[in-house]
């Protein structure tokens, strides 16, 4: 029991600051290939980060397709693809919204398949 309480105390001590700063956690978990300077600028201006796991992204044409498809949207400030992480990451402009269904549809129109959507606020 004593050991379990100690473990819980350590877990809370670690998790509470992290929960209070979910964006920081998200950014720490992202590689530099997932956050471009333009995306960082958009985040600094109050934008929100979206991370999408993608199936089938194996080349630069794949990445280009998704990046261009998302950056054509007025809600999106900047986007990029990390082929190593198999993710599309993009930043929504401050106050902009994009439903998960819309994101899946845009991935499909790019020629690929969404395999999970994460938003930093929910991490």
Partner 1 sequence: MTLAVCSLPAEAEARPVSYEGGTTLITEHDRDMSAIWAHYTPHHRYSIGYRGEWHREDDHVFHGAQFTWLANRWFGEDYQANLYLSGAAGLAYGVDGNPAGTGAAGSLGVMADWETRRWFVSYMARGFAGETTGEKAMQAARVGVAPYVANYGALHTWLMVQVEHSPEAENPVGVTPLVRFFQGPLLAEFGWSVTDDKPFIQLQYRF
Site residues (CB under 8 A) for partner 1? 33, 55-66, 68-69, 72, 80-84, 86, 108-113, 115
What is the smallest separation between the CB atom of 112 and partner 1, expressed in angstroms? 7
Q: Can you tell me the distance from the alpha carbon of 87 to that of 115, in angstroms, rounded to the nearest whole number?
A: 9
What is the smallest separation between the CB atom of 108 and partner 1, expressed in angstroms? 7
Q: Toward partner 1, which CB reaches closer, 49 or 65?
A: 65
What is the smallest separation between the CB atom of 87 and partner 1, expressed in angstroms? 11
Q: Toward partner 1, which CB reaches closer, 17 or 108?
A: 108
Q: Can you tell me the distance from the alpha carbon of 94 to that of 100, in angstroms, rounded to the nearest whole number?
A: 17
Q: Toward partner 1, which CB reaches closer, 102 or 113?
A: 113
Half-sphere exposure of 76 (CA within 13 A, CB side): 21
Q: Can you tell me the distance from the alpha carbon of 83 to that of 20, in angstroms, rounded to the nearest whole number?
A: 30
What is the smallest separation between the CB atom of 103 and partner 1, expressed in angstroms? 15
Question: C-alpha 95: how far from its chain's center?
Answer: 16
Q: Toward partner 1, which CB reaches closer, 19 or 59?
A: 59
Contact 47, 94 (CB under 8 A): yes
């Amino acid at each position: 029991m004593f050991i379990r309480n100690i473990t819980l105390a350590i877990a809370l001590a670690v998790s509470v600051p992290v929960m209070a700063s979910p964006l920081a956690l998200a950014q720490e978990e992202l590689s530099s290939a997932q956050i471009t300077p333009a995306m960082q600028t958009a985040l600094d201006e109050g934008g929100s980060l979206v991370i999408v796991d993608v199936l089938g992204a194996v080349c630069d044409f794949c990445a280009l397709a998704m990046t261009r498809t998302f950056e054509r949207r007025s809600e999106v400030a900047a986007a990029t693809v990390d082929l190593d992480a198999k993710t599309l990451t993009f930043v929504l402009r401050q106050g902009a919204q994009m439903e998960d269904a819309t994101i899946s549809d845009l991935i499909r129109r790019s020629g690929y398949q969404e395999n999970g959507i994460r938003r930093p606020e929910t991490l």
